[in-house]
Structure 1
């Protein structure tokens, strides 16, 4: 029995190797005559110099631009005028409900902020502590876009209407 297993494995390895050799030429890049070469560069990337010539042994890139693009997920889409107008009443109600949290004797909590916003008809509220005793929030607004803001530890409220984050949702990642 061990002899048969060894033979079967050898045949499988040989078949796999043969298949790889036969398919390998099909994995190459085909370029039509006169078309620019679209194969990836084998040169390493290097930051573009501020002054002077780009070295011939690398492909230049702008590191500052690359870092800016890496943070774009936090940017917000624009919110049109009709959504702003359609959400004005909800923003007023939400702000009043959040301000009422600061008037009570109960400590400010994420659950309290979620309840206050749910009580004025807002659903799927996301909250996060701000590290200073306050709570940040983000929630989809009834007429589109988002209602975002915070309730500070002293009870002061900051709330505004805004577009959805490019990464999705209303409350950005940490």
Structure 2
């Protein structure tokens, strides 16, 4: 019986939660303020919440940025970078077709796990994989077999290979 009374009290109070009233509004009806682009010149309007659309768009793209990679991770991953580059160069020089699976196998064979590979749209393959001492090993194998590989921090959105 007490549980039912408590639930009934909670349900009666629920509609009052989360309401916002505009400054200067009369009565008790909620009136949320809409967002509006901040004016370049002039006064900020009082009937909306101003924002900078350029800044908002810049922040929307930050998920692709990478965290910094410290010196100890770079030093700890130097051997892995060298081995991976050699394996990918051998793949690029071989007669084996350049595929995402071939790049994943070449990197797995040097001890890397959870390799992500994706075609680059020009006959090459991009890759990203977590490096053993932290950070990522990222790069690609071009259609002509040339290899680019580097150590980098993780993407702010998580992972090593950005979404396409």
Per the normalisation by structure 2, the TM-score is: 0.81
Return 80-89 or 44-53, whichever deviates more: 44-53
Aligned length: 148
For 2:10 and 2:18, locate their aligned partners in 1 and report how far apart those are by CA, in whole Å.
13
Match of 1:71 in 2: 61
The answer for the alignment partner of 1:165 in structure 2 is: 155
1:143 maps to what in 2? 133
Question: What is the root-mean-square deviation in Å for CA atoms of aligned residues?
Answer: 2.3
Gapped runs of 5+ residues in structure 2? 1-7, 20-29
The structure whose residues are more often helix, as a share, is: 1
Q: Would the alpha carbon gap of residues 169 and 25 (structure 1) be closer, same or farther in structure 2, given more than 3 Å must change? A: closer
- The CA deviation string for residues 128-169 of structure 1, in whole angstroms up to 9 with x for no partner, is 111111100000111111000011111111111011111111
* TM-score between both structures, scaled by the size of structure 1: 0.77
> What displacement does 1:68 show?
1.4
Q: Tell me whether 1:88 sits opposite 2:88 in the alignment.
A: no
Q: In the aligned structure 2, how far is the partner of 1:151 from the partner of 1:131?
A: 12
Task: Determine whether 1:121 maps to 2:111.
Answer: yes
Check if 1:134 corresponds to 2:153: no
Structure with greater Cα Rg: 1
Name structure 1 gaps, 5 residues minimum.
Answer: 1-17, 30-39
Distance 1:76 1:25, change over 3 A: closer
